[in-house]
Amino acid sequence: MSEMIETDVVIIGAGPVGLFAVFELGLLDLKCHLIDILDKPGGQCAELYPEKPIYDIPAWPEISGQGLTDRLLEQIAPFNPEFHYNRMVAGLEKQADGSFIVTTDEDEKFHCKVVVIAAGGGSFQPKRPPVPTIEEYEGKSVFYSVRRMEEFRDQDILIVGGGDSALDWSLALQPIAKSLTLVHRRDAFRGAPDSVKKMKALVEEGKMNFSLGQMTGLEGEGGQLSKVNLKNADGEFSVDATRLLPFFGLTMKLGPIADWGLNLEENLIPVDTEKFATSEPGIFAIGDINTYPGKLKLILSGFHEAALMAHAAKAIVNPDEKVVFQYTTSSTNLQKKLNVK
């Protein structure tokens, strides 16, 4: 039997919202452990677009996914949260006193009074295109995200898709690519109109290519791509490519969360807008995993939800302790917690 880990709060998910929850809970003297299926913090921001700019974080006109993650980790450092990566929560049992035992797929056990689900849309994985032998190239010349732009410098890049990811990475990688071709099955896009306009301007200037079509096969040796075969209404053709980025969307899975007895709406967890509590007392859901009237799937919305959740969590962990609301700008007590000199 593994040793029981005692903590006030277990946070499932170490994306931006889960990380900021550590800050809000820490201000209220609540100790947190975070469990994430990925091998590092940051969630989708760090996993799928670490170098992609984000423009709607307050006070940051532009910040990358990894940059936001780094700043959040710096902000919560005074509270010494403990992270458990490459883990999935496998079980959750409510105890007679209202507390919980959370178990991971590595047989770690956590005893806590509050569980916070900040798991984005659940565990996610890119949709693999139905192209023969594509598995042989994955991780070598076929990628489903861009973690380091330098790995694409001076390469013949083929991007497939018609959404924001395909358009954004076409614009971002074009300046460093040897050549870049965007392929989509139709001449209509789901992405931002401004991105479509910029992409078409680059095509007109001869700085990148656009082709209508669908992938039918790959050519290359030893996992290194050389050509991508395609077809459209005019017939079959091929494009030279040493890097392929197919953006066919993500498959979201709630995993064991779906079996915890929570009320669910289309794989999302309904919550109230006072505490962001779920249907199960002591379990909260913040960020993209939750739903409520007027919900906006924005990181800044998740930050707001984390703040209100924290005060509700404090009342559960320390029901006899009166909490006086304080501002970090004027409270010497809070500033001491934050190591402000």
Q: Residue 127 has what DSSP assignment?
A: P
- Percent of residues, the chain, with pLDDT higher than 70: 94
Give the H/E segment covering residue 228. strand 224-232
Whether residues 194 and 255 share a domain: the answer is: no
Residue 195: domain span: 128-246
Across 18-34, average pLDDT: 97
Across 86-108, average pLDDT: 90
Across 136-141, average pLDDT: 94
* Confidence category of residue 132, pLDDT binned at 50, 70, 90: very high
Q: What is the pLDDT of residue 341?
A: 83
Q: pLDDT tens, 258-285?
A: 667 677 777 788 999 999 999 999 999 9
Quote the CA–CA distance of 285 and 304 in Å, as a whole number.
12
Whether residues 152 and 104 share a domain: the answer is: no
Whether residues 12 and 106 share a domain: the answer is: yes
Q: What is the mean pLDDT of the chain?
A: 91
- 8 compared with 1, residue with greater pLDDT: 8
Whether residues 36 and 74 share a domain: the answer is: yes
Q: What is the pLDDT of residue 89?
A: 87
Q: Which two tokens stand for residue 292?
A: 């409520």
Q: What is the pLDDT of residue 324?
A: 86
Q: What is the pLDDT of residue 131?
A: 94
* Confidence category of residue 144, pLDDT binned at 50, 70, 90: confident
In order of 28, 132, 286, the CA distances from 316 in angstroms are: 12, 53, 17
Domain with residue 184: its CATH number is: 3.50.50.60
- Of 190, 219, 246, which marks where a domain is finished? 246
* Confidence category of residue 119, pLDDT binned at 50, 70, 90: confident
Whether residues 173 and 274 share a domain: the answer is: no
- 107 compared with 227, residue with greater pLDDT: 227
Whether residues 35 and 118 share a domain: the answer is: yes
* Confidence category of residue 45, pLDDT binned at 50, 70, 90: confident
Whether residues 141 and 237 share a domain: the answer is: yes
- 89 compared with 173, residue with greater pLDDT: 173
Q: What is the pLDDT of residue 323?
A: 86
- Percent of residues, the chain, with pLDDT higher than 90: 73
Whether residues 241 and 255 share a domain: the answer is: no
Q: Is the pLDDT of residue 175 over 80?
A: yes
Across 115-138, average pLDDT: 83
User: Could you tell me how many helices (H) and strands (E) the chain has, helices first?
Assistant: 7, 22
Q: Is the distance from CB of 135 to CB of 144 less than 8 angstroms?
A: no
Structurally, the chain folds into a number of domains equal to: 2
- Of 246, 278, 313, which marks where a domain is finished? 246
Q: Is the pLDDT of residue 254 over 70?
A: no
Across 186-205, average pLDDT: 92
Q: What is the pLDDT of residue 122?
A: 54
Q: What is the pLDDT of residue 267?
A: 76
Q: Is the dihedral of CA 336, 287, 39, 33 positive or negative?
A: positive
Q: pLDDT tens, 307-336?
A: 999 999 999 999 999 888 889 999 999 999
Buried-state track 11-34, b at ≥16 Cβ within 10 A, e below 16: bbbbbbbbbbbbbbbbbbebbbbb
Whether residues 26 and 61 share a domain: the answer is: yes
Q: What is the pLDDT of residue 192?
A: 83
Q: Is the distance from CB of 256 to CB of 88 less than 8 angstroms?
A: yes
Whether residues 136 and 223 share a domain: the answer is: yes
- 323 compared with 294, residue with greater pLDDT: 294
Whether residues 158 and 87 share a domain: the answer is: no
- Of 246, 264, 296, which marks where a domain is finished? 246
Whether residues 236 and 258 share a domain: the answer is: no
Q: What is the pLDDT of residue 259?
A: 66
Q: What is the pLDDT of residue 127?
A: 79
Across 144-153, average pLDDT: 88
Q: Is the pLDDT of residue 56 over 80?
A: yes
Q: Is the pLDDT of residue 288 over 60?
A: yes
